[in-house]
Structure 1
Amino acid sequence: MNIFVKKLLKSLKSYLSITLNLPFLYQKPYFSQEGEDLIIQKLFSHKKNGFYVDIGAHHPFRYSNTYFLYKKGWNGINIDPSLNIKKIFGKTRKRDINLELAIDKKNGKKILYIFEDAALNTLSKTNADEVISSRQSKLIKTISVKTQRLDDILKKYTKKIKQIDLLNVDVEGFEMNVLESSDWAYYRPKVIVIENINKDLKLRNYLIKLNYSLIAQTNSSDIYAQK
């Protein structure tokens, strides 16, 4: 499409939206809780086929920082220990690898606290106690879930992947365990989005020491890029 046609279509779109009161012509299908995927889209605006690793994926669409990329043509690995996650993602994210497990510094088992609002499910007892005491959501039950180190997962599933473009981590207070379970000398995502509601300096300092720069923030997330 040449420049003239692009300008013509842009002008026509503007004219129709105003004349016919059609604001949906400028509506874009973003899915993140606080607009994180708007920022991600800007960072990867020219990349059609990328690879992400989404830890604490929660849901194929709701609060997803990676679904917009999936729609764009990307694929990756979705990881979450909640029940039936593999089945749910298998129906809607068929190009992805979908794993029903948790990430921790040691391979083994951990207790998962399951809430009515599944977005708050956590391996952190501290976080679980805060959710309960603040009445954010009702605790339904606890279950034992499988844990694996992140570097073991990446070693198994990314042998043919030259570059991990995006690492997304949203694990309700268990973020440091995830970071410390990877081999940062070997696996270097271009961009990292990590939930950091409490603005934990330990998380920030850890990533800065790994030669990442904090480039953007939302109320709940920090976004880093390789220096």
Structure 2
Amino acid sequence: MINRPEWVSRLGNWLRNYIPLGRLSYSQEGEDLVLARILGELKIMTGFFVDIGAHHPTRYSNTYYFYRRGWRGINVDALPGTKRLFDRMRRRDITIECGVGSHEGVLKYFAFNEPALNTFSEQEAEKKISPQYHIINTLQIPVVTLKRILDEHLPSGTKIDFMTIDAEGFDHEIISSNDWNLYRPRVVLVELLNTDIQNLETHHTAQILYRHNYRALAKTFNTYFFVANEAFPRSI
């Protein structure tokens, strides 16, 4: 047995006692940890979420951090097979396998060799084609409005604490399909690709949220955090 010098043992104890342990993020850019800070300001420890473009129960997930802490919610993704996977790994949640858009119908869905890139936006799909990423299939997928999903699946009397939307360039169609007077999450996370802070005020998706009394509070590289003005005081 190797005897360690006393100072090594003391250093180990100091590190354990005084250096905080890092928190594990499941999001692609740490969105879940930013969101936890925002909700923590309001002392919201558990609640209900809606995840549009949920992708996977744990990988690149903005909601799994919260699910592990007792939250539950609605997950929506268009990729066939998603519901089966979520139902197995996220049993408290409600999972819906369909697309979300401004009008109901059927749309072409571009499936990549990296499923996180899948999209209904043909323009965005063309941008993503590269030596590393390519389209492996196109599918005809049923699409409904966000309002209809919430009308049919949000449990009665439940308020939405946060909604996350990651749709690879299809965000405007999703945002415009909700009834923001009826369904008002306290926080809305939206992936706005190729949008820097200086251009946010004129972004057509952000303008919808501004008109419905939301304001931008924070961002990661691609994701913006909007908060409902009536739920979050200006001091936050």
TM-score tier by shorter-chain length is 0.7 to 0.9
Aligned partners of 2:132, 2:152: CA distance in 1, in Å? 37
Distance in structure 1 (CA, Å) of the matches to 2:153 and 2:12? 48
Alignment gaps of 5+ in structure 2 = 1-10, 230-236
2:161 to 156, 162, 165: 165
1:202 CA displacement: 1.3
Report the AA paired with residue 30 of structure 2. G
Q: Which ranges in structure 1 are unaligned for 5 or more consecutive residues?
A: 1-13
Report sequence identity in percent.
35
Which one-letter code corresponds to 1:207 in the other structure?
Answer: L
1:94 paired residue number:
91
**Matched residue type, 2:29:** E
Match of 1:213 in 2: 215
Q: Which residue of 1 aligns with 2:120?
A: 123
Q: Does 1:64 find its partner at 2:66? A: no
Give the alignment's TM-score, normalised by structure 1.
0.87
User: Within 5 Å, which residues of 2 pair with 1:174-185?
Assistant: 174-185=170-181
The aligned length equals 211
RMSD across aligned positions (CA): 2.0
SS of 1:72's partner is coil
Q: Is the 8 A contact 2:176 2:208 kept in 1?
A: no
Q: Match of 2:106? A: 109
From 31, 34, 39, the equivalent of 1:36 is 31
The structure with more radius of gyration = 2
How far, CA to CA, are the matches of 1:193 and 1:99 in structure 2? 19
Distance 1:122 1:17 in 2: 49
Amino acid of the structure 2 residue aligned with 1:177: E
CA distance 1:181–1:17, shift in 2 (3 Å): farther
> CA 1:29 to 1:17, structure 2 compared with 1: closer, same or farther past 3 Å?
farther
TM-score, normalised via structure 2 length: 0.84
Aligned match for 1:155, one of 128, 151, 156: 151
Residue identity matched to 2:186: K
CA gap of 1:71–1:124, structure 2 versus 1, over 3 A, is: same
| Residue deviations 1:88-143 (CA, integer Å, cap 9, x gap) | 111111100011101011121111100010000000000111111x4451110101
